Amino acid sequence: MAFSSSLWSSLFIPNPNKTNRFSTFSPSPSPANHKLSTTTFAIPPLSTATAADVSGAIDGTTIAVLSGGFVAGLTALVSLTDPERRRREQAEEVGGDDKKVVKEYFNNDGFQRWKKIYGDTDDVNRVQRDIRVGHAKTVENALMMLKEEGSLQGVTICDAGCGTGSLSIPLAKEGAVVCASDISAAMVAEAEKQAKEQLVPSALPKFVVSDLESLDGLYDAVVCLDVMIHYPQSKADGMIAHLASLAEKRLILSFAPKTFYYDALKRVGELFPGPSKATRAYLHSEADVENALRKVGWTIKKRGLIATQFYFAKLIEAVPM
């Protein structure tokens, strides 16, 4: 599943000077020498925008752009509010924690919304279409990473958080032996349906309804795209360690990057929750992810940023030390 939480409700801050941009992936430098570029104009929001969130915010001709000073002012206002209250209310509604909120969302309204974004229907708005492009580029780059060392024929790959199969199906077409999992039964059913329409029976991935913590087995590679946004760093460390324990050669992760501006804008967005109920969202610093990998004996081999107007994701490939 992709970045799915509603960081931005009725407030959106697209970058009017920005066109779609995708990074070139290269051997990984150290975090000290590898810094995300920043700008003085408005920073675009993450890919958590949804159809319901965008309605009323962008009318096709008017785009609101916040200055850095206004963001700073609103960020100060956040300190006087309690955005965690809405998060607690979401959890109480489904009688559980983050995991139950995510499961409930992606089995209901979230499934319908993201099925459209992941699909090829024309029934999407401008923001959703932009997110589709960004997610597709993340999938494309992950696939390129996996294919760089040769044919995928017979290579075992776990696609953890497979969504509707946007990576699992291309992997199977390349001859990989794929285990595809998702916490959402609705997502898994859709992925399996699409796989049966596109693949011969012998090439079908093994589809499993499971959260990340319950996955087991050993694979040549494990891929987890756009899922870490559902994990606070305290839990993300454990999740990264668990995924690494399933991988023998390679681990590919994408996550929403945590920088000063992204964190500030996320907090501002929480002041405007809008009418839709989505999931909680967590940003992660590249250094924290790298530290979590190092603790379990892995190091980042490649890293890059994939960015469109409404979609931002860091994509990394890690290997055992």
Of 7-21, 57-71, 246-260, 290-304, give the range with the top mean pLDDT. Answer: 290-304
For residue 61, pLDDT beyond 70: no
Tell me, what's the pLDDT at 40?
Answer: 23
**Does 46 fall in a domain?**
no
Bridge partners, 304 (sequence order): 315
**Does 58 fall in a domain?**
no
Q: What is the mean pLDDT of residues 73-95?
A: 49
For residue 11, pLDDT beyond 70: no
Q: What is the mean pLDDT of residues 93-118?
A: 81
Bridge partners, 303 (sequence order): 26, 316
Tell me, what's the pLDDT at 100?
Answer: 86
Bridge partners, 92 (sequence order): none
199 membership: H or E segment, kind and range = none
**Does 204 fall in a domain?**
yes
Amino acid letter at 248? E
Q: How many domains does the chain have?
A: 1
Q: What is the DSSP letter of 122?
A: S
More confident residue, 56 or 144: 144
**Does 151 fall in a domain?**
yes
**Does 149 fall in a domain?**
yes
What is the tally of helices (H) and strands (E) in the chain? 11, 9
Of 18-27, 46-55, 184-193, 277-286, give the range with the top mean pLDDT. Answer: 184-193
**Does 69 fall in a domain?**
no
Amino acid letter at 221? A
Return the CATH number at 132: 3.40.50.150
* Structural domain harbouring 218: 99-320
Tell me, what's the pLDDT at 238?
Answer: 95
Of 69-73, 96-100, 227-231, 236-240, give the range with the top mean pLDDT. Answer: 236-240
Residues 174/156, Cβ–Cβ less than 8 Å:
no
**Does 75 fall in a domain?**
no
Average pLDDT of the chain is 76
Q: What is the mean pLDDT of residues 23-50?
A: 40
Least confident of 76-80, 122-126, 222-226: 76-80
Written as six digits, the tokens of 141 are 């780059």
For residue 177, pLDDT beyond 60: yes
Tell me, what's the pLDDT at 5?
Answer: 34
Tell me, what's the pLDDT at 312?
Answer: 87
For residue 149, pLDDT beyond 60: yes
**Does 64 fall in a domain?**
no
